[in-house]
Amino acid sequence: MALNLTQKIIQAHLASGEMKAGQPIALKMDQTLTQDATGTMAYLQFEALGVPRVRTELSVSYVDHNTLQEDFKNPDDHNFLRTIAAKYGLVFSRPGNGICHQVHLERFARPGRTLIGSDSHTPTAGGIGSLAIGAGGLDVAMCMAGNPFSLKMPKVVKVYLTGALPAWVTAKDVILEVLRRETVKGGVGCVYEYCGPGVETLTVPERATITNMGAELGATTSIFPSDSMTRQFLKAQDREDQWENLGPDEGATYDREIHLELDKLEPLAAAPHMPDVIVPVRDLEGKPVDQVAIGSCTNSSYVDMARVAMILRGRTVHPRLSLGIAPGSRQVLAMIAENGYLNDMIGAGARLLESACGPCIGQGFAPPTNGVSVRTFNRNFEGRSGTATAGIYLVSPEVAAVAAVEGKFTDPRTFGEYPKVTMPERFKIDDSMFIFPPEDGSKVEILRGPNIAPLPVKGELEPRLEGVALIKVGDNITTDHIMPAGKYLPLRSNVPEYAKHVFESIDKEFAARAKAKQGGFIIGGENYGQGSSREHAALCPMYLGVKAVIVKSFARIHLANLVNFGIVPLTFQNPADYDKIDLNDHLHIDVSDLSRPLVLDNRTKGIKIPVVHSLSGRDIEILKAGGQLSLAKKQAGA
């Protein structure tokens, strides 16, 4: 049977299940990655499993999110992460080494390997031919302990590329066009597999930009073949021996297809406040811009930075705005410094930011009140930038650089000659900011600061759930809405404190109400929980006593996180029944047998509402135990 690339890698790593779309499967994971905002909790969970050393081919702990160090909390977390990596056999990437996805692509990601990461943009590594999946930290902890990763066999969407990108049109415009067609929920349950003659024209960093923002489709992951272009990149990274020639079999079939003619694309922008609100840049011509930010795990590669520098060369940033630039890795920063590109940026008046996530997660460089911020990032959710009233536009580095010079949106095709930048034949290799673990870490002392709180664990599922509707929210609620990042990131290792801010941007009284009511239910619309993989969006509501979340539809990672922490995820059998529940309605449901039809009893209105779920037998077992960690402990005891 002819297999597509996704099926080939899944087949080679299949621990259980059948490759039938929608059916439960489990995959052996070769590699894991964490970042510091999710990693501290993931390693507390790994510790609780009692495994003496990670059982993966490679596990890397990156520090790239929480780097401001306004007080003791961040540096304490970093010490915890560094010492726990040494004890349990992980590679530790020190602060300043760069953004996890950019660095992993450069130094560790491999064709044909599976990778699970506690960050939703882990699919970036799909640009090099890895099957890379974002998940909650607990799922990553379980994989580090040697367990397979459970999911439903995804559908595979063939994205057939022809032609080549014209001047001033970039990989960012490719994925924005896919988002325009597919929307932020169109990829749920799918892998987007890129193929066709147009693939040969895209470098690995360009491919990684596309797979990175596949997360915004709600996709399980995205992947490119491993070909001569992949080999060239690995050779330049002194890793040619890790190259494999991988692609779909001739005659491979797909669940559906999309065709993109690269030569017919134009510069695009995602307008506020969703990554699928796509407009041509020419339609924004002349709109004043207050801030420009260039970087993030999406667009911070060497070529991205070099091209920005060439646009800025000999020019000055417009007086009405501020330009911040964050190279994606120490490797990128060193190379643009050596080649003079950094001088071009600084000479133009750009502000150099850390090689970290920073503004993308609302940590610094926030826009002004009601400001228009043009960013090369992957998300523009309302309030995520740190300024609730700002309008965030997502664009390519080229469009951003031109806007920084002009002070307004400008179709870059009218700006002048397109800067030509070629991929280096050899990147600057310096792995000194990685700390590789000792062979025996048993004597390593783990350093724990006072902000690292004990790990909350839920008891077994009650047969009957009763409580009030604590909050009712609409469609496309993100994990940023549920658990804000930015200034609250230092609280990630302290659930009792962090839980005080659940739903703060929507309803400041939510946490206090949930505590006073001793828990209850969350009611939501379509695509609930989209965005970041942050498991705290399930863990903190669990801590507050949330018993079930009832919505029209879920985003994949958040659905899994709810199960992992023992919160029952249900959907309305009839989406119109969403209108039959209001805030503070008293609800009751019998969940003693999740294999039979379920009925939600709205006792305030005297209405019976049928609800359904998509839980596998394993999911039900996890829920009954009170979450995945509780089940693992129970099984270990047995």
Residue 18 exposed, middle or buried by CB count within 10 Å (0-12, 13-18, 19+) = exposed
Q: pLDDT by residue (tens digit) across 87-106?
A: 999 999 999 999 999 999 99
Query: Would you state the pLDDT for residue 221?
Result: 98
For 113, other C-beta atoms within 10 Å of its C-beta total 23
Contact indicator for 9, 112 with CB cutoff of 8 Å:
yes
CA distance 76 to 69: 9
CA distance 546 to 559: 14
Which fold is adopted by the domain 464-637? Aconitase; domain 4 (3.20.19)
Read off the amino acid at residue 95.
Answer: P
| Residue 330 pLDDT greater than 70, yes or no | yes
Buried b (16+ CB within 10 A) or exposed e, 24-56: bbbbbbbbbbbbbbbbbbbbbbbebbebebbeb
268-411 has which CATH code? 3.30.499.10
Query: Would you state the pLDDT for residue 626?
Result: 93
- Give the dihedral sign, CA 488/493/498/499: positive
40 token code pair: 């501290």
DSSP H helices in 313-360: 330-338, 341-348
**Following DSSP, what letter does each residue of 294-316 receive, concatenated?**
E-TTTS-SHHHHHHHHHHHTT--
| Alpha-carbon torsion, ordered 376, 377, 383, 385, to 10 deg | -70
Query: Would you state the pLDDT for residue 206?
Result: 98
Q: Which of 119, 276, 480, 585 is catalytic?
A: 119
Query: Would you state the pLDDT for residue 1?
Result: 86
Query: Would you state the pLDDT for residue 336?
Result: 97
Mean pLDDT over the full length of the chain: 95
CA distance 382 to 476: 11
Q: Is 94 a catalytic residue?
A: no
Query: Would you state the pLDDT for residue 100?
Result: 97
| Residue 634 pLDDT greater than 80, yes or no | no
User: Can you give the C-alpha Rg of the chain in angstroms?
Assistant: 23
512 token code pair: 């206090």
Q: How far is CA 178 from CA 161, 376, 429, 592, in A?
A: 11, 17, 34, 42
Q: Where are the domains of the chain?
A: 5-264, 268-411, 464-637
| Percent of the chain residues topping a pLDDT of 90 | 90
Query: Would you state the pLDDT for residue 638?
Result: 55
| Residue 180 pLDDT greater than 80, yes or no | yes
What is the band of 363 on the pLDDT scale with cuts at 50, 70, 90?
A: confident
241 token code pair: 């021996």
> What are the residues whose beta carbons fall under 8 Å from the beta carbon of 367, sequence distance 6 or more?
290, 291, 373, 385, 386, 387, 390, 392
> Where in 153-205 does DSSP place strands (E)?
155-162, 190-195
Q: pLDDT by residue (tens digit) across 196-248?
A: 999 999 999 999 999 999 999 999 999 999 999 999 999 999 999 999 999 99
Query: Would you state the pLDDT for residue 469?
Result: 97
Q: Is 276 a catalytic residue?
A: no
Q: Which helix (H) or strand (E) holds 174?
A: helix 171-182
**Following DSSP, what letter does each residue of 569-616 receive, concatenated?**
EEEESSGGGGGG--TT-EEEEE-S-TTS-EEEEETTTTEEEEEE----
Question: Partners of 323 in the beta sheet?
Answer: 292
Q: Which of 78, 113, 379, 558 is catalytic?
A: 379
Q: Which of 104, 534, 558, 613 is catalytic?
A: 534
CA-closest candidate to residue 515, choices 494, 546, 472: 546
Contact indicator for 533, 136 with CB cutoff of 8 Å:
yes
Contact indicator for 355, 327 with CB cutoff of 8 Å:
yes
Q: pLDDT by residue (tens digit) across 36-57?
A: 988 999 999 999 899 999 999 9
Q: Which helix (H) or strand (E) holds 270?
A: strand 268-270
Q: Which of 30, 36, 64, 304 is catalytic?
A: 64
> Where in 131-212 does DSSP place strands (E)?
131-134, 149-152, 155-162, 190-195
Angle formed by the axes of helices 330-338 and 341-348, nearest 10°: 90
CA-closest candidate to residue 542, choices 567, 512, 508: 567
**Following DSSP, what letter does each residue of 77-92 receive, concatenated?**
HHHHHHHHHHHHT-EE
Q: pLDDT by residue (tens digit) across 149-169?
A: 999 999 999 999 999 999 999
Q: What are phi and psi of 61, to 5 degrees?
A: -110, 115
Q: Is 322 a catalytic residue?
A: no
| Residue 635 pLDDT greater than 80, yes or no | no
Contact indicator for 185, 65 with CB cutoff of 8 Å:
no
Query: Would you state the pLDDT for residue 582?
Result: 97
- The number of residues making up the chain comes to 638
Residue 419 exposed, middle or buried by CB count within 10 Å (0-12, 13-18, 19+) = middle
Q: Is 65 a catalytic residue?
A: yes
| Percent of the chain residues topping a pLDDT of 70 | 100
3-class SS string, 425-450: CCCCCCCCCEECCCCCCCCCCCCCCC
Topology alike, domains 5-264 and 268-411:
yes
Q: What average pLDDT does this structure show over 534-552?
A: 95
| Residue 580 pLDDT greater than 80, yes or no | yes
Its pTM surpasses 0.85: yes
Query: Would you state the pLDDT for residue 259?
Result: 98
177 token code pair: 């066009």
Instruction: Please tell me what DSSP assigns to residue 29.
Output: -
> What are the residues whose beta carbons fall under 8 Å from the beta carbon of 357, sequence distance 6 or more?
35, 64, 65, 99, 296, 297, 363
122 token code pair: 């882990």
Query: Would you state the pLDDT for residue 133?
Result: 97
CA distance 287 to 198: 33
Contact indicator for 503, 482 with CB cutoff of 8 Å:
yes
CA-closest candidate to residue 570, choices 609, 627, 519: 609
Query: Would you state the pLDDT for residue 486?
Result: 84
CA-closest candidate to residue 503, choices 529, 467, 468, 526: 529
Query: Would you state the pLDDT for residue 632?
Result: 84
| Residue 442 pLDDT greater than 90, yes or no | yes
For 457, other C-beta atoms within 10 Å of its C-beta total 15
> What are the residues whose beta carbons fall under 8 Å from the beta carbon of 634, sequence distance 6 or more?
625
User: Token match 């990128």: residue?
Assistant: 332
Query: Would you state the pLDDT for residue 637?
Result: 61
5-264 has which CATH code? 3.30.499.10
| Alpha-carbon torsion, ordered 624, 629, 634, 638, to 10 deg | 130
CA distance 308 to 419: 9
Q: Which helix (H) or strand (E) holds 75?
A: helix 73-88
Query: Would you state the pLDDT for residue 636?
Result: 67
